[in-house]
Amino acid sequence: MSREMLSTANSAILIPALNEALRIREVASAALAQCAHVIVVDDGSDDGTADQIADLPVTVIRHPQRLGKGAALRSGFAEAQRRGLRGVMTMDGDGQHSAEDFPRLLAAANRHPGCIIIGARLRKRANQPTIRRIGNDFGDWGIAWGCGFQLVDSQSGQRFYPASVFTLSDVPGEGFVFEAQLLISAARKLGARVVAVPIETRYAGDHAAGTFRKSHFRLVRDLWNITSHVVRQVLRQGHLWQVRRRIRAQPPLIDDPDGEFASIASASAREPG
């Protein structure tokens, strides 16, 4: 039996939103230009986020109170599953991601069936705040121990999940921890790899003040929550030396036809775990 190809007709764009009135209409409209299935989960916003898109042909799921990003993603995934969709791309509601990257992530998902595709912020990395870049590198290192392979930009909120992943049940973790655990659960339960597609992203420092709201991700607090969550799992699993050897043997997978970022994978393969 031939595998069903992922397409704009059987996939959705999912936008978790918390107090995104500033940019949500722009983000949702751009998503609609790429995909007919757009799901916005308003996670208890109190700034009129849902009002900004009330006249758009998007599905809005509203949490009466803030439950966190993990709960918002679960609600959106459940809606996609109810519709029988085969893939979901997530993107943040603050405008840092471009919906125009959807076709590239979709194409990569078809080239790498069963894998999670991450829109990795590899282009213009110099524009990323230094402390955040260091934090992202640390997060990649920690999550690699949970997955058993190396990956890049594990903190990116722009991802494409096949149905085999977004329908996984009993994935623990709340808030941003859920996104990390989804990578780990997919790797351990399904043998799914993570593939990076280079994208650009926009930061507050690149634009006039007031065009982006302050990030909901708190670097120290959320990285601590993620790291401590992963460490407990790794220690329970044991066999640390074998895990380290497996990680070193599997450098990041980058969907990069032009070879622009080939040096990242080769450098990772040489580095000690």
Inter-axis angle of helices 219-237 and 176-185, nearest 10: 30
Res 5 pLDDT > 60: yes
pLDDT at 192: 98
Phi, psi of 102 (to 5 degrees): -55, -50
Which regions of 168-238 does DSSP assign to beta strands (E)?
Answer: 194-198
Q: Quote the DSSP letter at residue 21.
A: T
pLDDT digits over 140-154, tens only? 888 999 999 999 999
Domain boundaries, the chain: 11-270
Res 109 pLDDT > 70: yes
Global pTM reads 0.86
Least confident of 97-101, 110-114, 233-237: 233-237
Phi, psi of 58 (to 5 degrees): -115, 155
Inter-axis angle of helices 240-248 and 130-147, nearest 10: 120
Could you say which architecture CATH assigns to the domain 11-270?
Alpha-Beta Complex (3.90)
- Choose among 148, 152, 161: nearest CA to 187: 148
pLDDT at 230: 72
- 17: enclosing H helix or E strand: strand 11-17
Q: Is 8 exposed, middle or buried (0-12, 13-18, 19+ CB in 10 A)?
A: middle
